[in-house]
Structure 1
Amino acid sequence: MSPSRSSAIKDLAPTEPHLTEYDREHLAVYLRLLDAAEDGASWEEASRIILGIDPSREPARARRAHDTHLVRARWLSAQGYRDLLRGS
């Protein structure tokens, strides 16, 4: 399942210290990235399957998108979830 056009994956995940609309739209992507990392999937596989970016065609973009979205997913699971609980 690739992201839909309405929720296209950006090259860089947000870095704001609060939950963004982009984060809300991509919660499932973040969860899938966390699962893939936990399962030992390669960044190439996760980029292709979860982010919809072909690492053989766009290796730098795929790696950057994967790494920044995984960092954001980890931030969300450690801190950002509080914004979800508050409903902000």
Structure 2
Amino acid sequence: MAREFQDQPPAGDEPTSYDKEQLTLYLRLLDADRDGAGWQEAFEIIFGIDPSEHPERAEKVFTSHLDRAKWLASSGYLELLLAGRG
């Protein structure tokens, strides 16, 4: 079952509620990237959508979410940790 997602995650220097909702998706994207998976295969598995139906849109969705996942993994997670302490 495909999860709901936006074409592009919200931008900004703080994690959003959308980011929190998509943590599992972000982790799966980071795993796929680390493992060297092709974006089309990873997109279909993670997002549950055939990328050949709308290849340009699919690539933009994949890339924007992977970029956000990388940001969250490198610095955005600190905000999540601090918020969890309160």
1:2 counterpart residue number: 2
Unaligned 5+ runs, structure 2:
none
Q: CA RMSD in A?
A: 1.3
TM-score normalised to the size of structure 2? 0.91
Does 1:73 pair with 2:69?
A: yes
Write out per-residue CA displacement over residues 32-79 of structure 1, whole angstroms, 9 at most, x where no aligned residue: 000001111110011111122321101011100000000000000001
Rg larger in 1 or in 2? 2
Question: In structure 2, what is the Cα distance between the partners aligned to 1:72 and 1:45?
Answer: 19
What displacement does 1:31 show?
0.2
Question: In structure 2, what is the Cα distance between the partners aligned to 1:85 and 1:54?
Answer: 35
Deviating above 3 A after TM superposition, structure 1's stretches of 4 or more consecutive aligned residues are: none
Write out per-residue CA displacement over residues 3-32 of structure 1, whole angstroms, 9 at most, x where no aligned residue: 2xxxx1111122111000000000000000
1:34 counterpart residue number: 30
Does 1:82 pair with 2:39?
A: no
Which sits farther off after the overlay, 46-55 or 74-83? 46-55
SS in structure 1 of the partner of residue 70 of structure 2 = helix
The alignment of Structure 1 onto Structure 2 pairs a total of residues equal to 84
Identity of aligned residues (%): 49
TM-score normalised to the size of structure 1? 0.89
